Chains A and B, each alone.
Chain A
Amino acid sequence: MNLTTALARLLIFPGVLFAVPAAWFFLWVERKSVALMQGRIGPPFMQPFYDFVKLLGKNTPPRGGVGGLLMMAWPLIAVSAAAGAVGLLPVLPSSGGFQGDLILLLALLELPSMCIIAAGFSSRSIFGEIGSAREAVLSVSYNVVFLLAIVSIAASQHTFRLEALAQLPASPLQILGIVAILVCLPAKLHINPFSLPNAEQEIYSGPMTEYAGPELAMWELSHGLEWVAATGLVATLAAPHLTIWWMAALVFVALSFGVVLLLSVLAAATARLAIDTTVRFYWQCTLIFAVLAISSALFMRFRS
């Protein structure tokens, strides 16, 4: 992979030029499918785009000093990390060079959540601080399962290279890992059973309470990009290996769309859980499966 293809990946497909419209599309799919399940018509197709443009045109609060600068920086870091994570996904087949690394992808996927925690605390709002504390507790809970699932996939295939992982044929262990990742996605994307950090009606908007205008637009965009990156990770792991580039792209988009629909249906069908129930769910119920997955992966590795 030379410089031009690397830049094309980062900026065109699956990078920024694809990821930003896809982010708005996935946000719309989420809202529309919830509306349809409730027997409503729901928002028009361009709604997330209108929201974004409107927020760009609003006034921003005057904030001075380091605190103000930090509050402006967090959403920008979150957006660039999420866009980078999407750009790193090995959707198109290629050969040689830097082929994407699972550890880098995980770090980039984790960065928006870190930014949300930091943003809540630097806003100095009591609701923001509660939201950030909840996000931190949630992150500690689901990340154990999420990371164990990914490590078990990587250990069973003897590699941390994304491209190699995406190209290998599906094994029962990989399917188990994908299911474990799917269980963690609602918490990662803050949707309904685990929408604790930004729990409306409870703590206003959590870490986002003090944000307004273009900064809030960046948070909305980073949330959309997180959707694209997280569903895209599942799609690349689950997709069959294809050599024709347009078929690979099509399968990637279709699989991501399927995951988005699945998560939206879950969000529409469930109510928010309390923080202790959520923590118990991840530490007691799903951790067992993740430990089973990783121990069987290690066992298989030492046997072969």
Chain B
Amino acid sequence: MNLWNRLMCYSRRRSPWLFHMNGGSCNGCDIELIASLTPRYDAEQLGVRLEGSPRHADILCITGPITHNAVDAIKTVYGQVYGPKAVVAIGSCPATTNVFIDSRTLAGPLNKHIPVDVFVPGCPPRPDAIIRGVAIAAGILAERAAKKLPIEPVVLPLSGSDCGGNCACAAKTESAASEVQL
């Protein structure tokens, strides 16, 4: 790789611009995506910018279990993002359709319709998990543009209280909190 290609690869990794799209989400993940751009989490340190137009974006962030109404819109917007591009599925819904599974209004999961690079599970995922997913997607995008690799989805681990309090890890964090209070 010559110098220009290396610089291009580095710049692509350092400058992921997002376009956010709702595919029938309950709005929980959308709120968390916006929270990851607020001063508390400050995704701009990684060069992240939320763009108004899909033409400007590098990474498409999709939330929700993909309803029948959303499928065409998602395909259109995926086509409007110019390459090299990556797709991040935010939340458990686009990965598995979550609690809405087997609903007749759904056409999900997302990877039936467009190739997905990173799944960030959680209901909703924490903002730091979303930022991690975007950073990984930016790395994948830069590498794939340089070496023409095929798309292999990355699934982030479920960590902390990502699961929305439905499993044992929530009980663990609760007991830890009560210990601190005592």
Tell me the nearest residue of chain A to B81, going by C-beta: A212
Count, chain A residues at interface, CB 8 A:
35
Query: Which residues 33-81 of B have a CB within 8 angstroms of A?
Result: 39, 42, 44-45, 47, 50-53, 55-56, 58
A59 touches B82 (CB 8 A): yes
Given A211-B55, A213-B82: A47 and B15 interface contact (C-beta under 8 Å): yes
Chain A neighbourhood of B10, CB < 8 A: 50
Query: Which residues 195-211 of A have a CB within 8 angstroms of B?
Result: 200-201, 203-205, 208-211
Q: Within 8 Å of chain A (Cβ to Cβ): is B115?
A: no
In this complex, which of B50, B51, B53, B82 has the most chain A Cβ atoms within 10 angstroms of its Cβ?
Answer: B53
- Of B7, B42, B45, which is within 8 A of A44 by CB? B45
B164 to chain A, nearest CB (A): 27
B55 touches A41 (CB 8 A): no
- Of A56, A58, A209, which is within 8 A of B52 by CB? A209
B11 touches A57 (CB 8 A): yes
Complex CA–CA separation, A204 to B47 (angstroms) = 20
Chain A neighbourhood of B136, CB < 8 A: none
B56 touches A208 (CB 8 A): yes
A71 to chain B, nearest CB (A): 12
B44 touches A61 (CB 8 A): no
In this complex, which of A43, A53, A57 has the most chain B Cβ atoms within 10 angstroms of its Cβ?
Answer: A57
Q: Within 8 Å of chain A (Cβ to Cβ): is B157?
A: no
B11 touches A53 (CB 8 A): yes
Complex CA–CA separation, A116 to B51 (angstroms) = 18
Q: Within 8 Å of chain A (Cβ to Cβ): is B170?
A: no
Q: Within 8 Å of chain B (Cβ to Cβ): is A216?
A: yes
Q: Within 8 Å of chain A (Cβ to Cβ): is B106?
A: no
Query: Which residues 47-93 of A have a CB within 8 angstroms of B?
Result: 47, 49-51, 53-54, 56-61
In this complex, which of A39, A61, A208, A212 has the most chain B Cβ atoms within 10 angstroms of its Cβ?
Answer: A212
A50 touches B55 (CB 8 A): no
- Residues of A contacting B: mostly: loop
Query: Which residues 6-26 of B have a CB within 8 angstroms of A?
Result: 7-8, 10-12, 14-15, 17
Given A212-B55, A212-B56: A58 and B83 interface contact (C-beta under 8 Å): yes
- Of B14, B39, B44, which is within 8 A of A50 by CB? B14
Q: Within 8 Å of chain A (Cβ to Cβ): is B165?
A: no
Given A50-B10, A60-B82, A212-B82: A43 and B55 interface contact (C-beta under 8 Å): no
Query: Which residues 233-284 of A have a CB within 8 angstroms of B?
Result: none
Q: A interface vs B, CB < 8 Å?
A: 31, 35, 38-44, 46-47, 49-51, 53-54, 56-61, 127, 200-201, 203-205, 208-213, 216
11 residue pairs bridging A and B, Cβ less than 8 Å apart: A39-B39, A40-B39, A47-B14, A50-B11, A59-B84, A200-B51, A205-B53, A205-B56, A209-B55, A212-B56, A212-B82
